[in-house]
A and B are shown apart, each in its own frame.
Chain A
Amino acid sequence: MNTILECKNLSKSFGSTKALDGINLTIEKGRIVGLLGPNGSGKTTFIKICNELLTPTSGEVRIKGFNPGVETKKIVSYLPEKTYLNDWMKVSQIIRFFQDFYADFIPEKAYDMLKRLNIDPNSRLKTLSKGTKEKVQLILVMSRDAQLYLLDEPIGGVDPAARDYILDTIISNYNENAAVILSTHLIADIEKVLDDIIFLKEGQIVLNKTVDEVRDESGKSVDALFREVFKC
């Protein structure tokens, strides 16, 4: 069983607008997949359905054979595009929180990354800047030994130096038994870490290829191809 995530005819509507429209998709382990598309193309909706934060209108998602639920949450590590940190804990307390709830959480890894990014484990979450909060969230998410990482805009809000460190972390965290799906519109920055790319447009997959295929077939970088496909 190499398949980690499988989508069949997945659709989601909000009222009359279709956010996702008949998505069919298979993601295998060991891959780093870029979910790319302009704003409102359905990237976040897709990731939220995989985390049971939204319920699909029709179709289904299976992660390691399970529909999103308690079983999948044990093996999926999710970074939302929102700040979900509460305002009363210290950084060290939220690490303890993750340790309490996720069997695959490795606190040493988290403390190591905090040190690298100069974040004091004793500071209160409330007092952190927005960028630092995002870093803390990413540290929490990457400190799990999960089988599927779903990262929604992991580098959107952080400075370029931290961006490089985060991408390095994602690559160095590479595990042949895990898959990473990350959504972004900052394509040039992440192109070098991706194995596969999926272009989403108005809730539909318009392209699903490996990065090598894109380069061989079109002779263009992913960034250039994206600009061409989504030309306004």
Chain B
Amino acid sequence: MLAKLLKYELKATARWFMPLYAALVLFALISRFLLYNDPFVKNEATGFLQIVRILSMSVYVFLFVGIMVVTFVVIIQRFYKSLLGDEGYLMFTLPVQTWKHIMSKLLIAMLWNLSSAVVGLCSIMLLIPAQDLADFGLLFTGIKEYFGTMGYFTILLFMLASLVFGIIEMYTAIALGHLFRKHKLLASFGMYIGLNTISQMAFILIVPFFLNTIGSLSEPLHITPGRLNTLILITGIIFAALAAVCYIVTNIILKRKLNLE
């Protein structure tokens, strides 16, 4: 049943992203052509060409920002509308466990987050001059220099865990806000701020404890790849643990306190 939910969730959301991705890549290509193609550049850009260039770049930037906004809005909208809005009447009367509904929303939201990032990055690579592309490589060698080979693994894990938490935190805020009889939206917003504060508190309380074990505070902290990785790993694990708590809370609310009105 989870596979079926994922299939429909993907279909419901793809209609937003696919055209936007296509348009972004298209305008990156157009802009690239206008920026670097010799015949245009040599001919001392006429006023008209300049306008076209600016237009094309503006559309590109507009689309780039648009994708970021849509990615964010779709995460919230798919959870709120499809589970707690009128469509919830359909979704929650399917013979499917509640946790699978949350999981399907979460996994598809992650997928679009990651693909928006990848597509965005690729479009930037299309736009920058070829000789500067090498700088992207520096990013990876830099990671290796400071974090060691393990760094690729720990940073990836950290990014995934913080992404999962970032999404599920919003779900939990919406679910908590839904418990209020009035001003649900405002309550959700308040809950989000509350959850953010609580999660930051968790970091403030937990991380220093581990700093002590990494290197004693009495001697100057000597930064080594091993210590950096341990620290990143610990923050990643805290994010993962917070995400798990949020998931459980959301599931309990939707299962036992669901009040569709």
Where the two chains meet, the residues of A that have a C-beta atom closer than 8 Å to any C-beta of B are: 14-15, 48, 51-55, 70-71, 73-74, 76, 78, 80, 82-86, 88, 97, 100-102
Q: Are B4's CB and A101's CB within 8 A?
A: yes
Contact pick for B8, options A52, A74, A82, A97, CB 8 Å: A97
| Interface stretch of the complex, out of B35-43, B56-64, B190-198, B253-261 | B253-261
Where the two chains meet, the residues of B that have a C-beta atom closer than 8 Å to any C-beta of A are: 1, 4, 8, 11-12, 15, 82, 86-90, 92-97, 181, 256-260
Q: Are A82's CB and B89's CB within 8 A?
A: yes
Contact pick for A52, options B87, B90, B181, B258, CB 8 Å: B258
A53 with B89, Cβ < 8 A, contacts A48-B260, A88-B12, A97-B8 known: yes
Cα–Cα, bound, A88→B93 (Å) = 19
A100 with B92, Cβ < 8 A, contacts A52-B258, A82-B86, A86-B87 known: no
Cα–Cα, bound, A223→B78 (Å) = 44
Q: Are B93's CB and A78's CB within 8 A?
A: yes
A73: chain B residues within 8 A (beta carbon): 93-96
A14 with B4, Cβ < 8 A, contacts A84-B89, A84-B90 known: no
CB-defined A-B contacts under 8 Å, sample of 12 = A15-B181, A52-B93, A53-B88, A73-B96, A84-B87, A84-B90, A86-B82, A86-B87, A88-B12, A101-B1, A101-B4, A102-B95
Give the Cβ gap from A66 to chain B, nearest Cβ, in Å. 11
Contact pick for B92, options A14, A15, A52, A102, CB 8 Å: A52
A83: chain B residues within 8 A (beta carbon): 86
Give the Cβ gap from B260 to chain A, nearest Cβ, in Å. 5
Q: Are B4's CB and A100's CB within 8 A?
A: yes
Q: Which residue of B lies closest to A140 (CB)?
A: B90
Give the Cβ gap from A131 to chain B, nearest Cβ, in Å. 17
How many residue pairs bridge A and B at CB < 8 Å?
A: 61
Q: Are B259's CB and A54's CB within 8 A?
A: yes
B257: chain A residues within 8 A (beta carbon): 55
Cα–Cα, bound, A51→B89 (Å) = 9
Q: Which residue of B lies closest to A15 (CB)?
A: B181
10 new A-B contacts, CB < 8 A, other than A82-B86, A84-B88, are A14-B181, A51-B93, A53-B89, A53-B92, A70-B97, A82-B89, A84-B89, A86-B82, A88-B11, A88-B12
Cα–Cα, bound, A97→B7 (Å) = 10
A70 with B95, Cβ < 8 A, contacts A52-B258, A53-B258, A88-B12 known: yes
Q: Are A53's CB and B87's CB within 8 A?
A: no
B15: chain A residues within 8 A (beta carbon): 88
B11: chain A residues within 8 A (beta carbon): 88
Cα–Cα, bound, A78→B86 (Å) = 14
A14: chain B residues within 8 A (beta carbon): 181
Q: Are A84's CB and B86's CB within 8 A?
A: yes
Give the Cβ gap from B112 to chain A, nearest Cβ, in Å. 16
Q: Which residue of A lies closest to B11 (CB)?
A: A88
Q: Give the most central of B8, B90, B256: most A CB within 10 Å.
A: B90
Q: Which residue of B lies closest to A152 (CB)?
A: B89
Cα–Cα, bound, A70→B95 (Å) = 5
5 tightest CB-CB pairs across the interface, nearest first? Answer: A84-B90, A73-B95, A84-B89, A80-B89, A74-B95
Cα–Cα, bound, A34→B181 (Å) = 30
Q: Which residue of A lies closest to B12 (CB)?
A: A88
Give the Cβ gap from B97 to chain A, nearest Cβ, in Å. 6
Cα–Cα, bound, A102→B95 (Å) = 7
